[in-house]
Amino acid sequence: MAPLQHDPLLASIILRTKKRLFHPLHGEHESIFGGSGMDFREVREYSGGEDIRHLNWKITARTGTPMINRYNETKQLPVVLVYLNGGDLHFGAHKSKRELAIEVLTALGYVTLNHHDTLTTLFYSAAQQQWLAPSRHKGMIDLLFSTACELEPLGEQIDFTALAALLMQKVRQKSLIFLVGDFWEFGTDHDLGELAFAHELYCIILRDHAEETLPPKGIYEITDPRTRKAQTLTIDKQSASRYKTLVADHEAMLHAHLSTHRIAATKIYTDEDAIEKLAYFVRR
């Protein structure tokens, strides 16, 4: 495959990723995706020259003597990116959520490969669409980007139950898994608990402000981006209120599920600086 580095969109994403996601104190080979690859070994008295970030402040305060946590050798966890290619990605008032998803996926992939971590990418809707096998080759960013750009979200629906089962089957080594999508199709019958127990799971939730509130009252012709079925929608004060309640209920359900299973998540809107928001999330 010919390099795509000359593509203006890819070049822009890479440039902003370099500025936001590469910390000046990080070495060429040190990954920001630390995971829980460090195994705790012991607590002992601090001696000069050691990394003060590992100080155990609770024991230090109790004993009055500086104490430090010691760990076994760090082993970087592989990174798995999952692009959730649902029909709702087609929507966007500022820009489409699809554009936002491509930006987030590319940035995460670029950082992973430039830190020489192993990268696997799954493109998924109701079933696997594309599987990019584990690799550390920097040229994979071209394939990842071009695959995301070629996929059409319209008419696609996400099956989270099948997705979790597929990842449990295909990803055998403990990994950092990033799910990138809008999560509107996540329901009470879906469960990411087993996946989160086996791996370190992170959700990048992509949204547009316009989809969280209905437009002014009136009659609209709309098309469902998942089923492509057209219908006439009449919006009044009551329907707008009901919609707002449904959105709030869905967000509460999703937040509760993620919190229960200790799954870290961040929400990025189409009018936000995605790379800056992503940088804050992965460093946190």
| pLDDT tens, the chain, 284 aa long | 444 556 888 999 998 998 887 654 333 444 556 555 555 667 888 876 666 777 888 888 888 888 888 765 556 789 999 999 999 999 988 899 999 999 999 999 999 998 889 999 999 999 999 999 999 999 999 999 999 999 999 999 999 999 999 999 999 999 999 999 999 999 999 999 999 999 999 999 999 998 988 878 888 787 778 878 888 878 888 888 899 999 999 999 999 999 999 999 999 999 999 999 998 888 77
As separate numbers, helices (DSSP H) first and strands (DSSP E) second, the chain gives 8, 10
For residue 17, what is the DSSP state? H
Superfamily for the 79-283 domain: von Willebrand factor, type A domain (3.40.50.410)
Instruction: Outline where 127-206 has alpha helix (H).
Output: 140-150, 160-170, 193-198
User: Residue 19: its pLDDT value, please?
Assistant: 83
Secondary structure element (H or E) that encloses residue 68, with its range = strand 67-71
Spans of all domains in the chain? 40-71, 79-283
Query: pLDDT digit string (tens) for 61-103?
Result: 888 888 888 765 556 789 999 999 999 999 988 899 999 999 9
Q: Whole-angstrom Cα distance, residue 125 to residue 196?
A: 20
Nearest to 81 by CA among 48, 60, 59, 106: 106
Q: Which residues contact 9 (CB under 8 A, 6 or more apart)?
A: 102
